[in-house]
């Protein structure tokens, strides 16, 4: 017990010295050395001119699409190999042929009827002329219609016209036994086979024109002010050359197509309450697009519109914005809230049109709800908005 007494005195003396250095000159307040409470990542703001890229999604549809329909009935004697699903055909190409024999017979009968009616008309015309000549042998006044065989001549002429119309109809029906392609196109579906007997107005296939494809795209209401759009109500104004639209297809591999902004629909879609625009891809199967995987009707694609350029703005990640109203910056190593106004945003970035200036140290660390005035340590100040700037490229 006596041996431990000096050790106790040394311990008490050490505690006394420590308390002395940790108290102020009056000895009644403990002083704790100041150190930053949190580490944050921050980067300097660089104002820039920024062109937003506005995305939308839609399905590919044909500009002209329809059914191949028979206008006459009969047995199918020919079906083009190009009428099978996926086949291509040229304008005027024979797609389907129907047995012609009945229609050839109808043409022959109509021709006979026409020739007979024409002969009777010519005979009646000659009789009328002779009757008129005989009248003037003994008379000087003008003869009436009964004398000049007017009713008989009119009847013969009417029968001739009827026979002529019957002949034309028979010839038209004969021509309709050959169903020709109305345009350069692509087959969606074949609905008939050789030997099948079809009736009038039977659907024999489904085709579409390949001169252009269209895509109907919805636009968010908040994006409308940032795209130059055709106005459906300005009928008499000259067409503007709008910025091309980039279409991205992910069918098999990513491929890009250039489309033209064609028109704006005249009404708001009632289901989505959004405005839709129509873009068109000209000559999707042409030489310019050779080597690309063909776009398919009904295929889901992404469209990217080049927006209107915004001047002198800050592009920041959405994650650094709180309550859509403010961001945190660092001033004199202290955390400060800065109110901002957002002009446009997408899922990743927001364009701040006011509230930030060049070289503001923007805190990019997610902080949640934290008070101002907290002293911070900048953990990494070398992060820039280079990735955000890539948003200007289509």
Where residue 148 falls among pLDDT bands split at 50, 70, 90? confident
pLDDT digits (tens, 9 = 90+) for 188-247: 999 999 999 999 999 999 999 999 999 999 999 989 989 888 874 555 455 567 878 999
Domain 64-99+177-209 has CATH 3.60.21.10: no
Using the predicted structure, report yes or no on whether residue 117 has a pLDDT greater than 50. Answer: yes
Does the pTM of the predicted model rise above 0.75? no
**What CATH fold (topology level) applies to the domain 38-52+309-392?**
2.40.420
Among 59-63, 115-119, 221-225, 290-294, the range scoring the smallest mean pLDDT is 290-294
pLDDT digits (tens, 9 = 90+) for 371-388: 888 888 887 654 444 343
Residues 6+ apart with CB under 8 A from 101: none
As a whole number, the mean pLDDT across the chain is 85
User: Do the domains at 38-52+309-392 and 55-61+212-306 have one common CATH topology?
Assistant: no
State how far the Cα of 203 lies from the Cα of 179, in Å rounded to an integer.
Answer: 12
Q: What percent of the chain has pLDDT over 90?
A: 58
DSSP SS3 for 57: strand
**What is the per-residue pLDDT for 35?**
52
Among 23-32, 120-129, 300-309, the range scoring the smallest mean pLDDT is 23-32
Query: For residue 363, what are its two tokens?
Result: 């805190």
Using the predicted structure, report yes or no on whether residue 64 has a pLDDT greater than 60. Answer: yes
Superfamily name and number for 55-61+212-306: Efflux pump adaptor protein, beta barrel domain (2.40.30.170)
What are the φ/ψ torsions at residue 2 (nearest 5 degrees)?
-70, -30
State how far the Cα of 228 lies from the Cα of 242, in Å rounded to an integer.
Answer: 7
pLDDT digits (tens, 9 = 90+) for 316-353: 999 999 999 999 999 998 999 999 999 999 889 999 99
pLDDT digits (tens, 9 = 90+) for 308-318: 999 999 999 99
**What is the per-residue pLDDT for 144?**
86
Where residue 55 falls among pLDDT bands split at 50, 70, 90? very high
* Mean pLDDT for the stretch of residues 60-78: 95
State how far the Cα of 213 lies from the Cα of 183, in Å rounded to an integer.
Answer: 14
Using the predicted structure, report yes or no on whether residue 74 has a pLDDT greater than 70. Answer: yes
Note the Cα 22 to chain centre separation in Å: 72
A 10 A CB-CB count for 354 gives: 13
What are the φ/ψ torsions at residue 77 (nearest 5 degrees)?
-110, -10
Using the predicted structure, report yes or no on whether residue 301 has a pLDDT greater than 70. Answer: yes
Which residues, in sequence order, are bridge partners of residue 300?
59
DSSP code per residue over 8-53:
HHHHHHHHHHHHHHHB-TTS--B------SEEEEEEE---EEE--E
* Mean pLDDT for the stretch of residues 111-138: 90
Among 17-31, 130-144, 209-223, 319-333, the range scoring the smallest mean pLDDT is 17-31
pLDDT digits (tens, 9 = 90+) for 250-272: 877 788 999 999 889 888 888 88
**What is the per-residue pLDDT for 384?**
40
pLDDT digits (tens, 9 = 90+) for 154-173: 999 999 999 999 999 999 99
In the chain, what are the domain boundaries?
38-52+309-392, 55-61+212-306, 64-99+177-209, 101-175
**What is the per-residue pLDDT for 115?**
96
């Amino acid at each position: 017990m006596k041996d431990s007494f000096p050790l106790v005195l040394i311990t008490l003396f050490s505690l006394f010295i420590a308390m002395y250095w940790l108290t102020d000159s009056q000895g009644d307040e403990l002083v704790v050395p100041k150190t930053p409470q949190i580490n944050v990542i921050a980067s300097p703001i660089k104002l820039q001119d920024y062109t937003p890229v506005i995305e939308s999604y839609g399905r590919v549809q044909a500009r002209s699409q329809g059914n191949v329909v028979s206008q006459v009935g009969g047995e199918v004697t020919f079906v083009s190999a190009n009428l099978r699903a996926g086949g291509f055909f040229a304008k005027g190409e024979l797609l389907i042929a129907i047995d012609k024999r009945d229609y050839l017979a109808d043409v022959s009968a109509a021709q006979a009827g026409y020739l007979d009616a024409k002969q009777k008309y010519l005979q009646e015309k000659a009789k009328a002329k002779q009757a008129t000549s005989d009248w003037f042998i003994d008379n000087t006044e003008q003869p009436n219609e009964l004398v000049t065989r007017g009713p008989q001549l009119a009847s013969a002429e009417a029968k001739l016209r009827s026979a002529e119309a019957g002949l034309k109809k028979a010839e038209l029906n004969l021509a309709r036994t050959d169903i020709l392609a109305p345009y350069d196109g692509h087959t969606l579906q074949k609905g008939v086979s050789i030997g099948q007997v079809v009736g009038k107005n039977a659907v024999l296939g489904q085709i579409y024109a390949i001169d252009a494809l269209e895509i109907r795209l919805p636009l968010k209401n908040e994006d409308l002010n940032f795209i130059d759009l055709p106005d459906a109500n300005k009928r008499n104004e000259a067409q503007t050359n709008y910025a091309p639209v980039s279409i991205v297809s992910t069918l098999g591999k990513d491929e890009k197509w250039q489309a033209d902004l064609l028109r704006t629909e005249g009404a708001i879609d009632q289901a989505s309450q959004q405005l839709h625009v129509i873009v068109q891809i000209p000559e999707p199967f042409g030489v310019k697009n050779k080597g690309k995987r063909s776009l398919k009707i009904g295929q889901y694609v992404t469209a990217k519109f080049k927006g209107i350029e915004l001047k002198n703005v800050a592009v920041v990640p959405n994650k650094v914005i709180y309550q859509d109203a403010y961001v945190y910056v660092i001033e004199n190593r202290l955390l400060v809230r800065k109110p901002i106004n957002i002009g446009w945003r997408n899922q990743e970035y927001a364009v701040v049109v006011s509230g930030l200036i060049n070289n503001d140290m923007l805190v990019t660390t997610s902080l949640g709800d934290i008070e101002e005035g907290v002293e911070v340590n900048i953990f990494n100040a070398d992060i820039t908005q280079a990735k955000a700037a890539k948003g200007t490229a289509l």
